Amino acid sequence: MDCFAALIAQPSISSFDPRLDLSNRTMVELLATWFEGLGFTVELIPVQTEPAKFNLIACAGSGPGGLVLAGHTDTVPCDVAAWRQDPFRLTERDNKLYGLGAADMKCFFPIVIDTLRDVDLTRLRQPLYMLATCDEESTMSGARALVASGRQLGRSALIGEPTGLKPVNRHKAIIMEKIRLIGRSGHASDPALGINALEGMHEVITGLQQWRTAIQAANHDPAFRVAVPTLNFGSIHGGDNPNRICGDCEMTIDLRLLPGMDLEEVRAGIRRTSMQAVDGTGLTIEFESIIPGIPALHTDSETEIVKIAERLAGEPAGAVAFGTEAPYLNAMGMNTVILGAGDIEQAHQADEYLALERIKPMQGLLGKLIKHICIDTQP
Ligand SMILES: [Zn+2]
């Protein structure tokens, strides 16, 4: 509990807005001290692209195979005024522990640490890793840097993101795109005096709606509550006056894609469709990716980690609607399952909490997982 309170007390917000973005250095330094104390060898790895951001890798044991317990050290920003208590002070009330990141996902580290107090590290036959990353809530720079480094960690991985103790092996990919049309403004009384970007964007929307119908007809996965890929029209801004031809219009869209869909192919489809929609109008079109894109996750149901997680949790692995670092870990050669003590309903909300009753079951589950993979099984 002291560890949990210390992590909550340390703000580690990551944000696309540089005014809100903070270093996670103190967070990883705390974790480094605690894992060294448990007998792990610890590395703090600066992320080259982001000053003052770090990944932590702690390792016990050696050899092939191995289990990685992974979590992100950052949280989303918070509106302090909306909280009933200080978001940076772990507060117990009604059998719940409140604090920013309590569920998503600072709780994971103290739960792992408490579990490890009962594990005899001298008996490990396969290595056990703790991985703590930065910027999961924003750019995913930590996970990207790990993939780029070519590091090999364990064969199996568990990420303690909030899933209400249910195993998850699938999620959708996420991309967000901006489309901008530049025309020419002029007096509203004569259309020939300008090129109307707003009318052009109407054609782009119509084209993208038809394209969406086609990709939804071609892609379907009943494991997801929303079983098709989605395209949301999120914002549109353009023009300034009713009596002036709209010279400039900008729209943002969000797409959630099923596992197996190629992100770059989808981006190319959006761009091709939009360009065709305004072909011959004289409008200039520009595209920008708002985020680099989070790949979809699909860890094979037959992998050891998914099967063990299903057995320990007592239910089959499912699909969730949020993105995680799991596809990056899979790209590093791991098989990754997501399973954590918090609930996603509390994540990114004021008065975020972890129910106290979740802690013991999560510890039990992690203890059995470590024993099964790292102690009982020959690599
Ligand atoms: Zn999270």
Domain 2-171+296-376: homologous superfamily in CATH: Zn peptidases (3.40.630.10)
The average pLDDT across 112-127 equals: 96
Ligand 1 center to 347 CA (angstroms): 8
pLDDT at res. 291: 87
Known catalytic residue at 254 = no
Amino acid at position 20, single letter: L
For residue range 130-156, list pLDDT tens digits in order: 999 999 999 999 999 999 999 999 999
Ligand 1 center to 322 CA (angstroms): 9
Q: Is the pLDDT of residue 1 over 80?
A: no
Ligand 1 center to 317 CA (angstroms): 18
Ligand 1 center to 375 CA (angstroms): 29
Ligand 1 center to 350 CA (angstroms): 15
Ligand 1 center to 104 CA (angstroms): 5
Quick one: pLDDT band at residue 377, thresholds 50, 70, 90?
confident
For residue range 285-302, list pLDDT tens digits in order: 999 999 888 999 999 999
Residue 140 and residue 144: Cα distance in Å, rounded? 6
For residue range 160-200, list pLDDT tens digits in order: 999 999 999 999 999 999 999 999 999 999 999 999 999 99
Mention every residue, 6+ apart, whose C-beta is less than 8 A from residue 37: none
Mention every residue, 6+ apart, whose C-beta is less than 8 A from residue 240: none
The average pLDDT across 313-327 equals: 94
Ligand 1 center to 360 CA (angstroms): 20
Domain ranges of the chain: 2-171+296-376, 173-289
pLDDT at res. 16: 86
Known catalytic residue at 74 = yes
Residue 37 and residue 28: Cα distance in Å, rounded? 14
For residue 244, give Cα distances in angstroms to 183, 186, 190, 230, 280.
Answer: 12, 6, 10, 34, 22
pTM of the prediction?
Answer: 0.89
The catalytic residue among 21, 114, 136, 221 is: 136
The catalytic residue among 21, 74, 137, 161 is: 74
CB 246 within 8 A of CB 272: no
Residue 375 and residue 379: Cα distance in Å, rounded? 10
Ligand 1 center to 208 CA (angstroms): 31
Residue 75 and residue 8: Cα distance in Å, rounded? 10
Q: What is the dihedral of CA 200, 16, 149, 323, to 10 degrees?
A: -70
The pLDDT mean for the chain works out to 96
Residue 200 and residue 249: Cα distance in Å, rounded? 9
Ligand 1 center to 299 CA (angstroms): 18
Token look-up 């997982």 returns 369
Three-state secondary structure of 87-134:
CCCCEEECCEEECCCHHHHHCHHHHHHHHHCCCCHHHCCCCEEEEEEC
**Which CATH class, in words, describes the domain spanning 173-289?**
alpha beta
pLDDT at res. 379: 79
Ligand 1 center to 71 CA (angstroms): 8
Within the chain, residue ranges assigned H as helices are: 2-9, 25-37, 108-116, 141-149, 197-218, 263-277, 304-313, 326-331, 359-370
Ligand 1 center to 137 CA (angstroms): 7
CA 79 to chain centre: 21
Q: What is the CA radius of gyration of the chain?
A: 24
* Cis peptide, bond prior to residue 105, ω within 30 of zero: yes
